[in-house]
Structures are given as C-alpha cells and as structure tokens.
Structure 1
Amino acid sequence: MNGRTAGTNLDTVRRHNLAAVLELVHREGPLARSALTQATGLNRSTVGALVAELAELGLVQEREPASSNRVGRPSPVVVPSSRVVALAVNPEVDAVTVAIVGLDARVHARVRYPTGHIPSAAEAVAIISTVIEGLRSALAQATRVVGIGVAVPGLVREEDGVVRLAPHLEWTEEPFAAELESATGYAVLAANDASLGANAERLFGAGRGAADLVYLNGGASGIGAGVIVGGLPLTGISGYAGELGHTLVNSCGVRCHCGATGCLETEVSQRALLSVLGMESADADELDRSLSSAVAGGDGAVIAEVDRQLGFLATALRTATNVFDPQLIVLGGFLGALHALDPGRLPRLVSAQALAASAESLSIVRAELGSDILMIGAAELAFGPLLASPAS
C-alpha cells in the first residue's frame, strides 16, 4: 500500500465517522461525548476530534452538562445546531404548507397558505416561492439552509422528483422538484408524503426503536402509507411501494379515481367526516376536537360514520398485518383521530381478522409528531445529503 492509498483510505474512514457522529446527534438529540464514544466504538480522542470538526463546520455545538453527583469531570454535551435548517413543503388539495425545520428536528416556523381550490403544480411553485420570500427574516437567523424537501400526496420518481401521479391534486408527470429548484435557487428533493411520514415517526416519534412498522396517513388528499422493513424504507423499484390507500376493502364500493372499486380511501375519508360534522374544511386539530366532541355528545350520525370507517380501516390493516408482519402500525392525520376515539377498538377488530401469528405482537398507535410529521419527514429528506457527507 503506498502513502497516497493509505491517506485516501484514512480520509474515507474519517468522513464515515464524521457522518456517524452527526447522524447520532441529529437523531438522538443532545448526547454526552462519552455516550458518543460508547455508541460509535471509537476512542475518546477520535470522538473529540470529530466533534471539533463538526463544530467548526457549524453543525453541532458543545455545552456544559447539567450538574451531577458523579465523581470526575463530566463529559461535554453535543447538540445539533438549530441554525442549520431545511425548508419543508407539503402541497395539498386545499392549501400549501411551508415550514422551516432545524437540524435539531424541531419545526421553527410554519405557514399554511389556503388556496380554496386544487392548486396546479405551477401555482404551487409560485405559492411556495412567495411564502419563502415572506420567511426571509426567519431564514436570515440560519447559518445554513440545506435545501427543500417536498412531501407530495402521490407517486414521486425518486431519481428526479417528477410527480408521476398525484390524483387528488390532478398532477400527472409534473417535473415539480426541478421547477421548484429553478424558482427558488435551493436544491429540491421530493418523495411521497406518507413514506416521509413513516420515516419521521420511525426516527423521532412513536416508531422509535421499531425496525418493522407500517404508517398510514389520512388527509385531504386521501390515504397514503409508508412501510419500514428491517429498519429501512420499503420503496419498490421506482419508489412507489406502500400504496395501501388503494387496498380493496369493499367489493361493492364505489369506483376510485385510480380505476379500481372499493379502495380504502374511497370508503375512509376526511371529506365524509367533515360532511357528517357539518364542516366544509378544517385543519387536523380542528377536526380532532370536533370529532371527539360529537362522539362524546352522542351524535348518532357521526358515531355511525365513525363505526363505518373504522370497520373498513380494520380490513385494510388486516391486509397490512398479514403481508408485512409489522411490530407497529402508526396512524396519522384523521386516521389517528379516529383511532384515538377508542384506542382499544382497532386492535380488537384487526386481531379478529388477521392471521393470529401475525397479530399477536402487533401494536396500533397514533402518530406522536402530530401536525409536524410531514414537515419533519420532508426536512429529513433535505438533510439526507448533509448527514451522509457533513464535510462536503
């Protein structure tokens, strides 16, 4: 081995270790240097040098630990920089949401821009650009903006961010990532919203520590799903895997926009809940409160609709349980609100239908990240290149 090869290999190892330390701090939150040493298996001096380099890059900060009764000098605590941020975007049928999310996995600012109609791709790009301009003062507080992550309610081609089909948005073959990048000057990555939500819950929410989980999100644009298998997202050959919203739940149901009959998202929908509640629109928190109040008050029409939707949802979850054998099913959006009305009901319904061996270890829970979930998931997409190569 010549000197040049040895130097190259050492640099590769250093870059790998740098990424490992940053990823730990980003995903676990503040960590003592001693904890980083234990988690990475590296020696203290190496970890110290890596933390110093990350601090010089402005990606982490070191703080003095809280006082303790332990003997000896306590280890400094390493925290991700909140001033390194990503922009997160979620276009929906009735609004476009833009947020600033820090490397500390916190949403620092959020703007929901109601459209009153389904925005075209070009209109969504214009809205996002305008909102970002309005966030300039907040962005000026950041030391680095890594780019934009977009959570799209539809099929997105991984390699170039082309929205192949977003039926509720009525988008087909839209080069959305490229157009948004051209309009804003930021690097843009886009992916399916539910897949990003699944990853966010796995890393920062109810799915922490779960290697196998299924996440379903219910929103104004229907029902999407993301699947984590063995700790890795299940994407399929082109990134379209996990479309549980188009699982057959009612062979006598209505025709879906996808062309099939009786899909989950035709039988279980936010629109139907809003209609029975006498509401035209509502954000997630408003719908949650109204639904809980109506059920608690004994509103027969609302209770009947909730019963109907939970029955069809259980059928879809039975299929997910039998096919993926997950440890956890996480429900977000209005699906989480339905589940929260009686947290024991869905597990009973699914256990009664699914294969006993697959259902015996299954837990069904509500997403913990609430309305932040898609913003955190989209930001994680934008942070990906930085986490993989902090020194680039």
Structure 2
Amino acid sequence: MTTTGASATSVRQRNLARVLTLLHLDGPRSRAALTEETGLNRSTIGDLVGELAALGLVEERAPDAARRAGRPSPVVVTSGSAVAIAAHPEIDALTLAAVTLDRSVIARVRIPWRDAPSPEVAAAAIAARIAQWRAGALADHRIVGVGVAVPGLVRTSDGVVRDAPHLRWRDAPLAALVQSAAGLPTTVGNDASLGARAEHLFGAARGHADVIYLNGGASGIGGGVIAHGTMLGGAGGYAGEFGQNRPGIEDASDRRAPGGVLEDEVGRARLLAALGASATDADDHALARALQTTSAPAARAERDRQRRILSTALANAVNVLNPSVVVLGGFLAALASSDLPGLTAAVRGQAMPACAESLDLRLASLADDRLLIGAAEAAFEPVLADPASAG
C-alpha cells in the first residue's frame, strides 16, 4: 500500500499531538516509556521528540543516575519556554497569568478596577500587560496564545460573549478584540466551564468520567458538566448555568430575593456582609477560615441558610445528571468547607438514593489557579492538536 504525502503528514501530526498531549497531561516520560505507552517504535519516538524539541515544546534531560539500570533513556519533559496567557475579567478586577505546558504559573498579576470595564477596555488591558511581560518577565519565552475565562454566556464557535450580566457585556466579540489588540490567537470561554475542564484534567475530578463542577465568584455562580469524559457545551456552548436556576427553598423564611435565582440567594457578598467584611477584606481562603470559626449568630445563620439552599440545588443536579463527583470552587468551596461531610449528607438526603449512592462532594484542588489553568488549556488546545502550528 502506498501512503500519500497528505496522509503521511496527517499521521505524523497525530503522532506529534499524541506524544505532546501525553507529556502535557501525565508529566515527564522517558523515551522508553513513550515507546511503550504509544505503541510506536523507538526510532519513531526519537524522531517525534526531536521535532517537538525543535519546535520549543519539549526538552530532553539526563535520566536520574540513582535509578540507572542498564542503558538509561533520556527523560522528555514539556518545555517551560512555551507559555499561554490566561485572563479572567471579573467585576472588581482583571487577573492575568502566564502558564507553561506543565501548568506552572510563572507570572501573575491582579489589576483592580473601580467599575466594570467595557470589552474594549478589558482587551486593551490584556494586551498592555502582555506587552510589558514580553519586554520583561517573558522576554525569553514564546507566547502561543491567549485564553480568556469570562463569567457569562460565551458562544464557543467565535468567542462572542453573548451575555455577561455582571460585567454588562452583551454580544461582545471579545476573542476578536483581544486577538487584534494583542496580536495573538485568542480563545474565549465561560469561566466555570474552563474551571471544570481544569479540575477534570488535573484536579479534584481527575480520573472521573461524570462530573459536575460549580464555581462561585464575584459575578455569581457558574458551572460545567462532564458526561462520559466529555464536556457538555450545549447547542451554543452555554451549558452549565446553574446559578440562573430557580432554587427550591423549602422554608419561606430562608428566601432573601423573591423571584430570584440561585446566585441571588447563595452569594459571596451576602456572606461577607454577615461577617462584617467588605469585598476587599477577604479572599476565598480567608472566607473559608472565617466561616469555619465565626461565633457571630448572624454569620452562622447566613452560612447555614446558604448551605441549605445549595444542598437542594446540588441534589436536583445530581438527580438529573447522576455524577460520581461534584466539585465546588471559589466561595462555594469556602461555604462547603465549614462542614463538607454535613453538606454531602444533606445533598444525599434530598437526592434519589440510586443517583447519590456513589456521590462524592469535593473541594476544587487547583484553588486560585483553576480558572487560569482552564483558560490556558483553551489557549494550548490548538498547539496540542497540531504541534507543528507552533513553529
């Protein structure tokens, strides 16, 4: 059988992608291990590794001498010189990070703003910080793209923000704005969906095929659903808006926002107000400590009220989607951490027994990096699919 030039190129592209993705997801491997895990022969692996190294995507290092048995094989690792820029605009600040293929965050900045900016202002701020990093901290790095995590509905096909209500963005062509301002390929996605992807690949949900992820931030509650190992996007890419569901509230005295949605009842601002703190007084780690240790009756009552409402919302989601793991991030992790076993029991008590019998509630393990790693993953996706495109 004769292999045409086009098909040979396609096979090589797939093999390059396979090796790079394996190193990206699972960490350093020797050439021997890559040969065994891919089923490719040694010379092909050597050739592929050489091309990936020439593209600046991997490096080879000497093996650990202490583990030498027979002829040692060089260890292949993803390169620290290729980075993605992750951006997360919120109503109170813009967070930016430079993330390497091994998920190391090598630069980070939080730029506060008094009022939610326009999409154009946000794009200009992202481009300005990238320019500063290029002249300084990232002078010796190659930026492969930008990933932006937005708290709102994003049309995944073209990166248009259909509606980010807290930012007051509607039908904003954010991907095009950032790409024009920064001169880099740009991918835009919903922040919670990107967080779900990060926790599924690298964090608390790693190894699980059916996952619900809920993220709580300054702009409300979003989420992501993974079914049989695949992220569910929906017809337009808008799936996972748990915060916009009408909550089931059994005790009328628990309701604070008549006719409101889940994020109107369960919110960071309400928790901080009950604790007597302002939005700038506490990050989510400090909020978790405060909720665990507070003796103030008003704060304890608000914490418990929100946990009751959240448990019902989670039970409804569990009944519909039957996940093995529910992961909570942001202020929802802070709310849950005061008594995670108690929240788990409350969810199981309201869900159908068969749907909840193997249920595990977990806190996001990537902490403050979860949305940034998810955004970076979106920026890396084209390179992982076609490593030669990074040349």
Task: Give the alignment's TM-score, normalised by structure 1.
Answer: 0.94
1:288 aligns with 2:281: no
What is residue 305 of structure 1 aligned with on the other side? Answer: 302
SS at match of 1:135: helix
Deviations 1:64-120 (A, max 9, x none): 222345631232211101110011111100001111111111111111000022222
Check conservation: 1:90, 1:152, Cα contact below 8 A.
yes
* Off by >6 Å, runs of 4+ in structure 1: none
Specify which of 361, 372, 376 is matched with residue 375 of structure 1. 372
What is residue 44 of structure 2 aligned with on the other side? Answer: 46
How far is 1:123 from its partner? 2.0
Specify which of 8, 14, 17 is matched with residue 16 of structure 1. 14
Aligned residues: 384
Partner Cα separation in structure 1 for residue 15 and residue 114 of structure 2: 48
What is residue 351 of structure 1 aligned with on the other side? Answer: 348
> Residue type of the partner of 2:278?
E
Specify which of 232, 235, 244 is matched with residue 234 of structure 1. 232
Q: 1:352 to 1:122 in 2, by over 3 A?
A: same
Q: Note the 1:40-119 alignment, pairs <5 A.
A: 40-69=38-67, 71-119=69-117
Specify which of 319, 324, 331 is matched with residue 322 of structure 1. 319
SS at match of 1:376: helix
> Residue type of the partner of 2:149?
A
Check conservation: 1:200, 1:380, Cα contact below 8 A.
yes
Specify which of 182, 188, 194 is matched with residue 184 of structure 1. 182
Segments of 5+ residues of structure 1 without an aligned counterpart are none
Q: 1:291 to 1:369 in 2, by over 3 A?
A: closer
Partner Cα separation in structure 1 for residue 93 and residue 273 of structure 2: 19
Partner Cα separation in structure 1 for residue 286 and residue 256 of structure 2: 29
Check conservation: 1:295, 1:302, Cα contact below 8 A.
no
SS at match of 2:283: helix
Specify which of 12, 31, 34 is matched with residue 33 of structure 1. 31
Deviations 1:2-57 (A, max 9, x none): x5x53332221111011000001011111222222222122222222211111111
SS at match of 2:305: helix
1:384 aligns with 2:381: yes
How far is 1:339 from its partner? 1.4
Partner Cα separation in structure 2 for residue 208 and residue 140 of structure 1: 34
Partner Cα separation in structure 2 for residue 214 and residue 173 of structure 1: 27
Partner Cα separation in structure 2 for residue 56 and residue 316 of structure 1: 50
Partner Cα separation in structure 1 for residue 274 and residue 190 of structure 2: 29
How far is 1:315 from its partner? 1.0
SS at match of 2:209: coil
What is residue 359 of structure 2 aligned with on the other side? Answer: 362
Check conservation: 2:287, 2:331, Cα contact below 8 A.
no
SS at match of 1:138: coil
How far is 1:371 from its partner? 0.6
1:266 aligns with 2:259: no
Check conservation: 1:62, 1:79, Cα contact below 8 A.
yes
SS at match of 2:51: helix
Partner Cα separation in structure 1 for residue 171 and residue 36 of structure 2: 47
Specify which of 236, 241, 244 is matched with residue 243 of structure 1. 241
SS at match of 1:391: helix
What is residue 138 of structure 1 aligned with on the other side? Answer: 137
What is residue 332 of structure 1 aligned with on the other side? Answer: 329
Partner Cα separation in structure 2 for residue 291 and residue 75 of structure 1: 46
> Residue type of the partner of 2:138?
L
Q: 1:64 to 1:16 in 2, by over 3 A?
A: same
How far is 1:224 from its partner? 0.4
Greater mean deviation of Cα atoms: 66-75 or 95-104: 66-75
Specify which of 207, 211, 233 is matched with residue 205 of structure 2. 207
> Residue type of the partner of 1:224?
G
Task: Give the alignment's TM-score, normalised by structure 2.
Answer: 0.94
> Residue type of the partner of 2:145?
G
Partner Cα separation in structure 1 for residue 219 and residue 383 of structure 2: 31
Partner Cα separation in structure 2 for residue 22 and residue 82 of structure 1: 13
Check conservation: 1:288, 1:337, Cα contact below 8 A.
yes
Segments of 5+ residues of structure 2 without an aligned counterpart are none
> Residue type of the partner of 2:379?
A
Partner Cα separation in structure 2 for residue 70 and residue 11 of structure 1: 36
Check conservation: 1:151, 1:192, Cα contact below 8 A.
yes
Partner Cα separation in structure 1 for residue 336 and residue 257 of structure 2: 26
Partner Cα separation in structure 2 for residue 22 and residue 206 of structure 1: 23
Greater mean deviation of Cα atoms: 73-82 or 186-195: 73-82
How far is 1:239 from its partner? 0.3
What is residue 155 of structure 2 aligned with on the other side? Answer: 157
Check conservation: 2:257, 2:265, Cα contact below 8 A.
no
Partner Cα separation in structure 1 for residue 145 and residue 222 of structure 2: 24
Partner Cα separation in structure 1 for residue 288 and residue 20 of structure 2: 41
How far is 1:333 from its partner? 0.4
Deviations 1:277-311 (A, max 9, x none): 2222138x734324423542422221111111111
